[in-house]
Chains A and B, each alone.
Chain A
């Protein structure tokens, strides 16, 4: 295995473009090193991107945010403003792994690992987060929901890499939330995850995005679930409609972490609970 520490994205892309065999980018390493140790993926070329300028910064971008690709979960949690605007997104990232993992894991890594159960991804999808992608054929901006294509697979082509995460402006009267179900209180992979982001006009929901994780080959953006609550004041009927739409959208599998029936049912339960939290946050937001 070759190990590279390029000092610019251009250099990183150049190394990746010429690389023979399996190439991986290394940020926090909490997936790459696990796969290496478990003999699941042994890269031929490993490109550590942490020496590239600016990758560890969280900065304002208009009224939104630009999050560097090596920013860790712990750094997001410790940031004094990001979590006030996007608590659901920051909490979703914070749910991943242990304190130790938080010291290393990144949003970009969580996204590019391609797991349908990645906790930060439904929260990013609900929030309308986009990423900058650079590769041998230039740069492009991609919505987070368009990155994963199947378990462990992404739409990034050979030599392409994510160079920044863009979180939209929070705007007024809005809130987000992410909840996941795990059997223990910590250290598990989501059996179901649900991210919800909504905006109010008075008490009425005027915008909403609902996203589900771990219930299909990729994280889902569930438009019918959003429709179920848009125009409502999140009364019981709206919550029931939300839960039903969330459950209907599920295309889960039976595996060691949960059954089809369980995931389908709990998706609805979590959607309701997350919606209530997002709604309260939106009400509290000025």
Chain B
């Protein structure tokens, strides 16, 4: 077992993990942060998306041990207490989710996109999110929610 000290959604966290355990396993099974989902375990679906030191990654393709000294942000850290992030509000308003299992990953990925590219084109959004599979929506309402969030955030800033 490896001892790991890390920071998750701003909180200092310590855990022990098997070297084979992925960060996703650790988040879900050790830390009870089940918002990140395992849709494939091979980096193809994006449902486990988190950021590590600000970089968007699939937590299924990161070892728990690699979190040592890093700062991890998950879907559970997007809202500010009970106040939803505008992106979360827009996803509900636009029905940008049906079953909702891809939603955590898509929200984490989109938040990361908008931090880097506040004024994305539709094409840019589609390619940025190409690693986040959604089987319910056909992406239409997701893209609309993202574009509208981006526009509103630009206006607010």
Contact between chains at B19 and A2 (CB < 8 Å): yes
Q: For residues 24 through 57 of chain A, which have their beta carbon under 8 Å from a beta carbon of chain B?
A: 26, 28-30, 33-34, 36-38, 42, 46, 48, 50
Contact between chains at A99 and B109 (CB < 8 Å): yes
Contact between chains at A100 and B19 (CB < 8 Å): no
Which of B19, B41, B56, B128 contacts A37 (CB under 8 A)?
B41
Contact between chains at A97 and B131 (CB < 8 Å): yes
Cβ of B63 < 8 Å from any Cβ of A? yes
**B45-81 contact mask (Cβ, 8 Å, vs A): 1 or 0:** 0100100100111101111011000000000000000
**B110-123 contact mask (Cβ, 8 Å, vs A): 1 or 0:** 00110000000000
The distance in angstroms between the C-alpha atoms of A38 and B66, with both chains bound, is 20
Instruction: List the A residue with the shortest CB-CB distance to B44.
Output: A187
Residues in B whose Cβ lies below 8 Å from that of A33 = 22, 43, 60-63
Residues of A within 8 A of B (CB): 1-3, 26, 28-30, 33-34, 36-38, 42, 46, 48, 50, 72, 74, 97-101, 103-104, 185-187
Contact between chains at B55 and A101 (CB < 8 Å): no
Task: Name 8 extra pairs, CB < 8 A, besides A103-B55, A187-B44.
Answer: A3-B2, A30-B43, A97-B43, A98-B132, A99-B109, A99-B112, A103-B52, A104-B58
Which of A28, A50, A101 contacts B131 (CB under 8 A)?
A101
Instruction: List the A residue with the shortest CB-CB distance to B129.
Output: A99
List the 10 closest A-B pairs by CB distance, nearest first. Answer: A98-B131, A186-B130, A3-B19, A103-B55, A100-B58, A103-B57, A37-B41, A34-B42, A33-B61, A1-B19
The distance in angstroms between the C-alpha atoms of A42 and B20, with both chains bound, is 9
Contact A48/B66 with A33-B60, A37-B41, A100-B56 known, Cβ cut-off 8 Å = yes
The distance in angstroms between the C-alpha atoms of A46 and B19, with both chains bound, is 9
Contact between chains at B127 and A186 (CB < 8 Å): yes
Chain A nearest Cβ from B127, distance in angstroms: 6
The interface size of chain B toward A, counting residues with CB under 8 Å, comes to: 30
Residues in A whose Cβ lies below 8 Å from that of B130 = 98-99, 185-187
Contact between chains at B131 and A36 (CB < 8 Å): no
The distance in angstroms between the C-alpha atoms of A99 and B61, with both chains bound, is 13
The distance in angstroms between the C-alpha atoms of A74 and B53, with both chains bound, is 13
Instruction: List the A residue with the shortest CB-CB distance to B25.
Output: A37
Chain B nearest Cβ from A113, distance in angstroms: 13
Residues in B whose Cβ lies below 8 Å from that of A29 = 61-63, 66
A and B contact pairs by CB, cutoff 8 A, 8 listed? A28-B61, A33-B22, A74-B55, A97-B131, A101-B58, A104-B58, A186-B130, A187-B44
Contact between chains at A38 and B42 (CB < 8 Å): yes
The distance in angstroms between the C-alpha atoms of A193 and B16, with both chains bound, is 43
Contact between chains at A99 and B131 (CB < 8 Å): yes
Contact A104/B131 with A3-B2, A36-B20, A38-B42 known, Cβ cut-off 8 Å = no
Chain B nearest Cβ from A64, distance in angstroms: 26
Contact between chains at A100 and B42 (CB < 8 Å): no
Residues in A whose Cβ lies below 8 Å from that of B46 = 98, 100
The distance in angstroms between the C-alpha atoms of A36 and B60, with both chains bound, is 11
Contact between chains at B128 and A99 (CB < 8 Å): yes
Residues in B whose Cβ lies below 8 Å from that of A101 = 43, 58, 61, 131
Contact A103/B131 with A1-B20, A30-B61 known, Cβ cut-off 8 Å = no
Chain A nearest Cβ from B119, distance in angstroms: 17
Residues in B whose Cβ lies below 8 Å from that of A37 = 22, 41-42, 60
